[in-house]
Amino acid sequence: MARVPRGTAYETARIFALQEEVDQLKAAVASHAVVDQAIGVMVALGRMTPDQGWIVLKEVSQHTNIKLRYVAELILVWGRTGDMPDEIRAQLEDSLDRLGPTQIPGAPPLDPVDPSE
């Protein structure tokens, strides 16, 4: 149980407000770490930049109506276990196809297609 501070009503209210703010900041830091890790998974597996990884996470969240932090958690689980809900997997594949590279980095360039052929 939290210790009730002694002092004026203002001081007590201020202490409680600061404790609440600290709790919110701790939650935000934890959430940010999860999202950053999921972006790292996108960078590694999707062969994309961190900015593109962020866009992928944001798109999956928006198109599935699932909070971004939860999408990030699901991607981390997927990275460890290979398991992912079908709805998330389908949207993730769509976003990766749209934003990912057209070829593997370091691969020889693709032959250009001659439209007159």
H/E stretch holding 44:
helix 9-46
What residue numbers bound the domain in which 31 lies? 22-99
The answer, yes or no, to whether residue 102 has pLDDT greater than 70, is no
**Range with lowest mean pLDDT among 48-52, 90-94, 102-106:** 102-106
C-beta of residue 91 within 8 angstroms of C-beta of residue 63: yes
Q: Is 108 inside any structural domain?
A: no
First to last CA, the chain: 78
Q: Is 1 inside any structural domain?
A: no
Q: Is 91 inside any structural domain?
A: yes
CA distance 51 to 90: 21
Global confidence as pTM: 0.65
Section 14-18 average pLDDT? 85
Q: Is 35 inside any structural domain?
A: yes
Tokens 């276990």: give the residue: 81
Section 87-113 average pLDDT? 72
Sequence-separated (6 or more) residues with CB below 8 Å from residue 103: 109, 110
